[in-house]
Amino acid sequence: MEHCCHGSQNMFREVGQRGVALIVRLNFEGDPRVALQSRGVDFDEIPVLESSPVREFSINVACEIGVRFCPFCGSRFEDVIRRNLELYLDLAKTHEKYRLGPFETKKPGQSDDGRS
């Protein structure tokens, strides 16, 4: 199996759909990393919301947080990625349009003001 378990395999397929999914993103060094993404609206439905004349509602369209371990089997994603690097690099390309923003706000070792 290329993924650590069937649970994670299924969650990688859910990217962009309403609900919870696992997404692969590249960090500053170009290494694949995994994040848990939650969407209140399907990715393809966002333009419908943006064009809606109704603006008096509050909705969390999407959010994500990096994860180190599989939420199903507990495997360390770093180890799984190392064993299947090409797969996860391909997934990062496929998932690119669904990512929400920078994976990390600063490079490792960099201070909060951006200096090394």
* Arithmetic mean of pLDDT, 99-104: 66
Is pTM beyond 0.85 here? Answer: no
**CA 65 to CA 12: how far, in whole Å?**
14
Q: Decide if 83 contacts 17 (C-beta within 8 A).
A: no
pLDDT (0 to 100) of residue 81: 96
The pLDDT tens digits for 41-85 are 888 888 887 787 876 777 778 889 999 999 999 999 999 999 999
Q: Where are the alpha helices (DSSP H) in the chain?
A: 6-13, 46-51, 77-83, 85-95
Q: Decide if 38 contacts 65 (C-beta within 8 A).
A: no
Structure-block tokens of residue 52: 């809606």
Structure-block tokens of residue 95: 């998932």
Domain locations along the chain = 6-98
